[in-house]
Amino acid sequence: MGSTQARIAIDAMGGDYAPAEIVAGALRAQAELGVEVLLVGEPQQIQAQMEHHSPSLQLEIVPAEGLIEMHEEPLSALRRKPKASINVAMDLVKQGRADAVVSAGHSGAAMAAALLRLGRLRGIDRPAIGTVLPTIMANKSVLILDVGANVDCRPKFLEQFAVMGSVYSKFVLGISDPQVGLLNIGEESSKGNELALRTYELLDQNPRLSFIGNAEGRDVLTGRFDVVVCDGFVGNVLLKFAEAIGEVLLQILREELPQGWRGRLGSLLLKPNLRRIKQRIDHAEHGGGLLLGVDGVCIISHGSSQAPSIFNAIRLAKEAVDNQVLDRIRSQYQQTEATATDGE
């Protein structure tokens, strides 16, 4: 294993299907993605899961004791359990023994652990969680942030989200000039709540952003925007709604398509096409959210993640590491300090 391979620490104990599905996804990722995965958690439980897989597949286990439960208040739980798996995973990045953390456990705890153990990047007031959604244009996605880290935001936080999102879009998603939108309730600059009105000005004046204006709810998935910024309350509501509506649509298809004999025959013929539709709608494909703005690469996956989602989350982490997302964000703010004295 060369030193250029990304090393990903994964919280083996976090998530509804931990550790079985976490271990399964991690094994596949190491075999297929050219990454080195460190499994952080209770050694015996992890070992027991590994025995269900080929002995030729072996991952390094980093021992940890306990985990942060879903009902626990993050900050006090993290302090009470310094050896919990998420704490140990973050420490691996802090110590330079890993390049990234992936967790499907308590997302608030993962964020808090990242902030406490890794700290923020210089120039960033609040880290944000970014998520990539597919758009109506084939092969074009949109990065939405924040989708849940900050429920009450100030305009400059959203401006920072836009800068971080643009960097990610450019260097990881390969968009040469990411088009940035502000989630809002109208196209005109005069529309919106106080936060949106003041954020519009900041985005419009920032020379390092390609800000193209407000994105209404209906515009988010058109493919016109590469990055859409919003506060974490609206973003979280929107993301969870988007994920659920995929299910609603599949449900309507399941109910309506097989009606009548033509329906039953037609549905039979369309089986492979329906499978492709499910794939395009299904959120398991996306892997998880990226916590941008902390001094380390952190992927926050769904609590309901199974092996395929974990595999995709590890790939997301690898891409962020390989494309030096942190250094790119850092350099944006070093430039600022060198060239300007910012207000706000």
Query: Which residues would be at the binding site for its own copies (CB under 8 A)?
Result: 136, 138, 148, 151-152, 183-185, 192-194, 196, 216-222, 230-234, 236-245, 247-249, 251-253, 255-257, 259-260, 262-263, 265-270, 272-273, 276-277, 280-281
Name the residue nearer to its own copies (CB basis): 12 or 143: 143
Task: Report the largest interatomic distance among the alpha carbons of the chain, rounded to a whole angstrom.
Answer: 71
Amino acid present at 52: H
Name the residue nearer to its own copies (CB basis): 39 or 281: 281
CB of 198 to its own copies, least distance (A): 12
Name the residue nearer to its own copies (CB basis): 67 or 142: 142
CB of 233 to its own copies, least distance (A): 5
Length of the chain: 344
Name the residue nearer to its own copies (CB basis): 51 or 194: 194
CB of 131 to its own copies, least distance (A): 12
Name the residue nearer to its own copies (CB basis): 72 or 322: 72
Name the residue nearer to its own copies (CB basis): 82 or 217: 217
CB of 129 to its own copies, least distance (A): 11
CB of 323 to its own copies, least distance (A): 29
CB of 241 to its own copies, least distance (A): 4
